[in-house]
Amino acid sequence: MEPANRRLIRPSLVEMKDQANTPNRRNTPTQKKPIPPEQTNAENFYYVKQMQAKTPMVFVLQDGETLEGVIEWYDKNCLKVHREGQPNLLIYKPSIKYMYKLTG
């Protein structure tokens, strides 16, 4: 088998300008991109998943304090964290800087 002679085909600069000047479907004002939903429920899905698995979590608060525990329940504004050997806590979501799964 002989290798086929292949030639690189490049569009000319004139063709590129023509493509840029012709309106396509995305840019037409009659067909707008749909507005994304207000809420994706990704946060709720994550909390439910961690609650069902009773995943030990680490919560890092805005002031740098870290807390460990399992998410017992949540609502729009706060999380209830169950801790072994320590009092359970109600943590307001705005006071949480970030959280992650406890490993090890």
- Domains: count for the chain: 1
Domain of residue 87: give its range.
42-101
Q: Determine the Cα–Cα distance for residues 59 and 66; give it in Å rounded to an integer.
A: 6
Confidence of residue 28 (pLDDT cuts 50, 70, 90): low
Note the pTM of the prediction, 2 decimals: 0.62
Q: Determine the Cα–Cα distance for residues 80 and 59; give it in Å rounded to an integer.
A: 12
Q: Determine the Cα–Cα distance for residues 11 and 14; give it in Å rounded to an integer.
A: 8
pLDDT number for residue 14: 76
Residue-wise pLDDT for 43-85, tens only, equals: 999 999 999 999 999 999 999 999 999 999 999 999 999 999 9
Which residue is associated with the tokens 């690189």?
8
Look up the CATH number of the domain holding residue 74. 2.30.30.100
pLDDT number for residue 17: 74
Does some domain include residue 27?
no
| Measured CA distances, 16 to 9, 10, 13, 29 (Å) | 13, 10, 5, 23
